Chains A and B, each alone.
Chain A
Amino acid sequence: MVKLNTRNIKRENETAVGYLNNLDEGQTENMENGYSEVKVEGLNFFYGSKQALFNVDIMVEEKGVAALIGPSGCGKSTFLRVLNRMNDLIPGTRLEGRVTVHGEDIYDPATDVVKLRKKVGMVFQQPNPFPKSIFDNIAYGPRIDGQKNKAVLSEIVEESLKGAALWDEVKDRLHEPALALSGGQQQRLCIARALAVQPRILLMDEPTSAIDPIATQRIEDLIRDLCTDYTIIIVTHNMQQAARISDNTGFFLQGEMVEWGKTSQLFTKPEDQRTEDYITGRFG
C-alpha cells in the first residue's frame, strides 16, 4: 500500500517531484503529532458476517480534495461512513483496525461521537434539507449546539450560505421552505448547513449524482474553493470529476484500496494494473 505525504500540496501543479515518495517511519510518526488529518490503518469492516472493506490503509492530509473512485458496491460509501461513524447506525456492523482523526482514535470507547460528527461533516448523495425554512436548516447545527442568540445565528447563516455560494440566490427568501429550492440549490444548502457547524473535514458521497450538469459545475467550483479551508473527501462515480477536482485519488475495488496517490499520477501512470484497467474503462 502506498502512503503519501500530501500535507503541503493544495494544487497538483504546485507540487514537486518526490512527492510520491513513501514516507519512512520517522516521518509518519511526525505527521501523527498534529498534521495527519485522517489516518486509517488495517481497516476491516463487516456488515454482519459480510466483509465490505479489506485491510484499508490511507493517510489524508490537511486541506485539499481527496476523491474515492471505484465500481458500484466496492465500499466507497461504507468507507466514508467509517470516518464519521455513521455506520454505527446500521445494526450488526463491526470494524477492525485503527481510524484516527487529528491523531485521535475515533473508535476508542471514550470518543464522543457527537463531537466527532461536528468535526467531520457529511453531505449526502440525495440533497436532504429538513422540511424547515432555509434559515432554520442552516441554523439547525448551531442551535442544537446551544446557540440561541438571533444576531449570531443570522451571521452564521449568512456566512455559511456565502461559503456555499448560495447567499445571493436565497438572501431574500431565507424564511421560505428549503424544499422549494431546486435540486442543485438544495445540495448547496446542505453544504452550507454542514459548514455552519464549522467542521474541519467534509465528507461528500456522490454529491452531484442527483443533480443536473450546470448545478454540478457550480458544486465542483465550490468544492475547489472550500478545499483551501477544509479537508474534503469525496466519493464519485465520475472519473472525470475526480480528475477535475481532486488532489489525491483512491481507487477501491471489491472492498480493497487498490491504489491511493496523487490524482494526476493515478490517472496518467497508475501503479496497479487494476487501476489502469478501471480508468481506461476495461471494467466497472
Chain B
Amino acid sequence: MHSISEKVMKIIFLICGLAIIFFLAGILFTLLSNSWPALREMGLAPFITPGRWNPGAYGEPTYSLFNMIYGTFMVTVGALVFAVPIGVAAAAYLAEIAAPWERELFKPIVEVLAGIPSVVLGFFGLVVIAPLISRIFYIPSGITALNGAILVGIMALPTIITLAEDAITAVPKEYRNASLALGGTRWQTIWKVTVPAAFSGITAASLLGMGRAIGETMTVLMVTGNMIAWPESFLDSVRTLSANIAIDIGDVVFNSIHFHALFVAGLLLFAITFLVNLLADILIHRNPEVNK
C-alpha cells in the first residue's frame, strides 16, 4: 500500500517535470513553425541585415529587424551599466555589512520590487523618469532608450541583488579572515577579495537579471517611443524586438508574411534570452571558488 502510493507520487512528479519540457518544446515548435513560412520565402538574411521594418509598404515590403535588435541591445546594455554596479553594491552591503534587522527590512523590499507589474513600472517611467530626462538633457521628450534602459535595469535589480548576494555569501569566510588578518580594512576585503572571489556568480546574476528583463515588453513599450529609425544615442527613441511584436500583432493579417515575420522576431528574442541564460548557467556551474 505504502509503496504503491509512493510510486504514484513519483509518477505524478515525473509528469510535472516532463510537462515543463513539453511546454518548452511546444513553444519552440510554435515559434519555428510559424516563422518558417517567412524564413522559407526570404531566408534569415533580410531580417538581420540593416534596413527598414516596413511590412505594410506597397510593392516592396521590408522586414529588417536590424534596428530593433540594436535597440534591444542598447536598452539591455544601458540597463546593465547601471543595474550591475547598484545591484552588486547592494548585494555586498546585504551580505557583508548590513545588521540582521537591516537585512530583514531590505529583503522584503527587494521582493516587492520584483513583484511590481511591468505596466505599473511603465507609468513610473512615463510620469517620473521621462520628465526628469527631458529636463536634465534639455530635450523635448524623455521617451527615449535611456528611459527604457533605466526601467529594464530596475526590473533586473531584484534578480541581480538576490543572486549576487547568494554568490557573495558563498565565498568562504577563510578568504575574509585572511584579508583582515593582513591588515585589510572591511572595504578592502569586500572589494579586493570577497567580490572578486564571487565574480562568476555575480556575472551569472547579472546575466540572469538581464535575461529576465530583455523580453519585458510593456515597460519598454510605454517609455521608449518605439520609432523604427536607427537610434543615434540613448536620447533617441528606440523600438525593441518585444515591443515590435506587441505593437504589430494587433492588426496584422493572420498568416500573412508580416504575421510570420513577427514570429521570426520572437524566435530571435527567444534565442537571445536562451543564450544569455545558458551562459549564466555555465558560469554558475563552473564557479571553482564557490564550489570549493
Contacts and interface: CB of A to CB of B under 8 A. Distances in A.
B185 interface: yes
A130 B193 contact: yes
B181 A86 contact: yes
A128 B180 CA distance: 12
B68 to A, nearest CB: 41
A140 interface: yes
Contact of A141 (B175, B182, B197): B182
A44 B292 CA distance: 37
A89 B177 contact: yes
Contacts, number: 68
**A contacts with B: majority SS:** helix
B179 interface: yes
B251 interface: no
Interface residues of B, number: 20
A145 interface: yes
A118 B180 contact: no
Contacts of A114: 183-185
B181 A122 contact: yes
A193 B175 CA distance: 13
Interface in B146-194: 172, 174-175, 177-185, 188, 192-193
B180 A145 contact: no
Nearest to A142: B182
Given A130-B193, A130-B197, A131-B197, A84 B181 contact: yes
A197 B184 CA distance: 11
Contacts of A121: 181-182
Given A131-B175, A140-B192, A86 B180 contact: yes
B183 to A, nearest CB: 4
Contact of A144 (B174, B183, B292): B183
A269 interface: no
Contacts of B183: 114-118, 141, 144-145, 197
Contact of B182 (A117, A131, A179): A117
Taking each of A84, A117, A118, A190, which has the highest tally of chain B beta carbons within 10 Å of its own beta carbon?
A117
A126 to B, nearest CB: 6
A252 to B, nearest CB: 21
A175 B59 CA distance: 63
A80 B227 CA distance: 67
B180 A197 contact: no
A122 B180 CA distance: 10
Nearest to B193: A130
B180 A89 contact: yes
Given A140-B192, A144-B192, A193 B182 contact: yes
B194 to A, nearest CB: 10
A128 B172 CA distance: 9
Interface of A: 84, 86, 89, 114-118, 121-122, 124, 126, 128-132, 140-141, 143-145, 179, 190, 193-194, 197
Interface of B: 172, 174-175, 177-185, 188, 192-193, 196-197, 288-289, 292
5 contacts: A118-B182, A131-B175, A141-B184, A197-B182, A197-B183
The 4 closest A-B pairs by CB, nearest first: A118-B183, A128-B174, A122-B181, A117-B183
